[in-house]
Amino acid sequence: MFLIGCHLSMANGFVQMGKDALSIGANVFQFFSRNPRGGKAKPIDPKDVEQFLEMCDEHQFGPLLAHAPYTLNGCSADPKIREFATATMRDDLERMEHTPGNLYNFHPGSHVGQGIEAGIEMIVKMLNEIMFSDQRTTVLLETMAGKGSEVGSRFEELRQIIDGVTLAEKLGVCLDTCHVNDAGYDVVNDLDGVLAEFDKVIGLSRLKAIHLNDSMNPLGARKDRHAVIGGGHLGVEALARVINHPLLRALPFYLETPNELPGYGKEIKLLKEFRKE
């Protein structure tokens, strides 16, 4: 089954996201666990969740992907900012237990001049503080573009984080096609090579989700500006190879392109045309 969807607004709850997804032919979706700038989370409405879980059974949705606020930084030089990231993500992981068995993606962080090694150490420490043994959510590290002092633009950095985490069996990776391009991994001309590298360094069994985005910038630009499918340096053919690749095709694909609902609907339709049986 082709698991394809996009980023949706959770402002009106899970059932509304489910309806939005169905209205554009999506069977997976991503949403911010709370305000992307890291405000207070909306309380979970048990009725909404219950109704949504029924909807999932009926329509065979793939995994839900909650995205942590992108402003959190677990490896800031400021301990208050690190504590805020830790507390917010801990709360998110507890909330995720209302919808067990899904995915929680976060940006590892920016080391802000402290160095990659120091950054990785802080991220590991945070994960070891917030992950719990009966947690049913898989936490995903997102591959980053390498903008500024971002940690996680090299597969080796993600490997090092995984190696430090006690409950590593609950950790995975979300590969963002725009970000890896910007980080210098050539998914356009050498997708096989990039996946071989991923497998060698991290292990493909860790790969749980794909953020399917085109990029406004060329290979290695370290920028992180998403483009609509076919509107950037990756192009529709390269992205079609991604969704059809034997090592990737069973994964859920989430669009994070600059779009509203109708635009996402068009992209999903286009990608379904490119998807081989």
Asked if 211 interacts with Fe ion (CB under 5 A), we say: yes
Nearer to Zn ion, 95 or 226 (CB): 226
Of the pair 75, 255, the CB lying nearest Zn ion is at 255
Pairing outcome for strands 138-142 and 109-110: unpaired
Query: How far is the C-alpha of 77 from the C-alpha of 18, rounded, in Å?
Result: 39
Q: Are 222 and 183 in contact (CB under 8 A)?
A: yes
Q: Which of 265, 173, 179, 274 is nearest to 226 (CA)?
A: 179
What does DSSP assign to residue 223?
-
For residue 211, the partner it binds in Fe ion, Zn ion, none, with Cβ less than 5 to 8 A by kind, is Fe ion
145 touches 153 (CB < 8 A): yes
CB closer to Fe ion, 67 vs 82: 67
Burial class (CB in 10 A: 0-12, 13-18, 19+), 44: middle
Residue closer to Fe ion by CB (options 95, 211) is: 211
CA distances (Å), 171 to each of 25, 110, 124, in order?
Answer: 29, 19, 11
The distance of closest approach from Cβ of residue 227 to Zn ion in the complex, given in angstroms and rounded to an integer, is 11
Instruction: State the number of binding residues for Fe ion (CB under 5 A).
Output: 3
Least distance (Å) from Fe ion to the CB of residue 256? 5
Closer Cβ to Zn ion, 20 or 224, answer by number = 224
Interaction mask 33-72, Fe ion, x per CB under 5 A: ----------------------------------------
Q: How far is the CB of 224 from Zn ion (least distance, A)?
A: 5
**The entry of Zn ion, Fe ion, none that residue 224 binds, CB within 5 to 8 Å by partner kind:** Zn ion
Dmax (CA) of the chain: 50
Considering the rule CB under 5 A, would residue 224 count as an interface residue with Zn ion? Answer: yes
Q: What span, in angstroms and rounded, lies between the C-alpha atoms of 231 and 254? A: 17
Interatomic CA distance for residues 91 and 81, integer angstroms: 15
Shortest Cβ distance from residue 140 to Zn ion (Å)? 14
* Rounded Cα distance, 84 and 74, in Å: 8
| C-beta of 157 vs 224, nearer to Zn ion | 224
Amino acid 160 reads Q
Q: Toward Zn ion, which CB reaches closer, 165 or 228?
A: 228
The interface region with Fe ion, picked from 51-59, 71-79, 207-215, 240-248 by CB under 5 A, is: 207-215
Task: Identify which range of 6-14, 17-25, 110-118, 222-230 contacts Zn ion by CB under 5 A.
Answer: 222-230
**Shortest CB 46 distance to Fe ion, Å:** 28
Give Cα 251 to chain centroid, integer Å. 12
Of the candidate spans 28-36, 189-197, 204-212, 217-225, the one that interacts with Fe ion by CB under 5 A turns out to be: 204-212
Instruction: Name the nearest CA neighbour of 96 among 165, 174, 44.
Output: 44
Residue 22 one-letter amino acid: L
Q: Which residues bind Zn ion (CB under 5 A)?
A: 224
Q: Which residues bind Fe ion (CB under 5 A)?
A: 142, 176, 211
